[in-house]
Amino acid sequence: MDFEIAGNAALVTASSSGLGKASAKALAREGANVVVNGRSQESLDEAVEEIEDVAAGEVVGVQADLTDADDIERLVQTTIEEFGGLDHLVTSAGGPPSGPFLETTDEDWYEAFDLLVMSVVRTVREAADHLEADGGGTVVNITSRSVKEAIPSLVLSNSVRMSVIGLEKTLSTELAPEVRANAVLPGPHETSRITDLIDQAVERGEYDSYEEGLEARGESNPLGRIGDPMELGDTVAFLCSPRSEYINGTAIPIDGGSGNSNL
């Protein structure tokens, strides 16, 4: 299926690794011109090279810290300067620390809010006028299945990410009809974090091989496996495309059916 986004301009935050990188790769493969973002220049350079291998459009790396308002302004403006506009904004951010409620400090709460919520607020605010221009665009927020079901020992993610969903739903009406806003709620995917956890378990002797550990992690999923990051990336690219032009204000779980929530 042609997603009809070739030549479009896209910015994907926190896209030097994980699900953000998969989303940037999917957009670039469809012919969009993509700005990739990360804090580490080394990781960013590696991600740009990897995405360029499959890209049908231009790929530009921009180093920026999503907790720094000036960096966010520069990130958006660089995208405009590189590509002459902005059609698609995909927001992503690393997960906050795990831990139970009573061991979570005020500083932890403020840092999580700044990373997960204010990064989205500031990026959308900088990008809104550009997204609305020239026929409109899209916003896709990558959050977590934790907004549907609380995950043990992830009080920060369970609580703070809900704000992004409230923002996404608000944007879907305030920026419409020029801009559509949606969210994706990933379950476990084979990102570097999962890979590291499995490798550590192999070292501890819990599994004989990485493949055994990966299989064990997917046993409780109805599909019998955890996700490939590109499966989420392809969904993000679809939500950015005219093929999904009547989808607005939704939050789509991408978890293989492992969630127990009815809605």
| Domains detected in the chain | 9-188+228-254 (3.40.50.720), 190-226 (no CATH)
pLDDT of res. 165: 98
Chain segment 84-122, per-residue pLDDT in tens: 999 999 999 988 988 999 999 999 999 999 999 999 999
Mean pLDDT, to the nearest integer, of 248-260? 94
Whether pLDDT at 229 is above 90:
yes
Chain segment 126-183, per-residue pLDDT in tens: 999 999 998 899 999 999 999 999 988 899 999 999 999 999 999 999 999 999 999 9
pTM: 0.95
Mean pLDDT taken over the chain: 95
pLDDT of res. 260: 85
pLDDT of res. 95: 85
Residue with the bigger pLDDT between 8 and 198: it is 8
Q: Which residues of 159-172 are buried (b: 16+ CB within 10 A; e: fewer)?
A: bbbbbbbebbbebb
pLDDT of res. 63: 97
pLDDT of res. 97: 87
* Helix 155-174 vs helix 106-113: crossing angle, to nearest 10: 30
pLDDT of res. 194: 85
Mean pLDDT, to the nearest integer, of 249-262? 92
Whole-Å CA distances, 46 to 9, 15, 113, 245: 21, 11, 28, 33
* Residue 99 per-residue DSSP state: B
Mean pLDDT, to the nearest integer, of 216-233? 94
Mean pLDDT, to the nearest integer, of 57-83? 98
With H, G, I as helix, E, B as strand and everything else as coil, classify residue 137.
strand
Mean pLDDT, to the nearest integer, of 15-25? 97
- 247 exposure class (CB count in 10 Å sphere: 0-12, 13-18, 19+): middle
* Residue 149 per-residue DSSP state: S
Residue with the bigger pLDDT between 122 and 191: it is 122
Q: Tally Cβ neighbours within 10 Å of residue 105.
A: 9
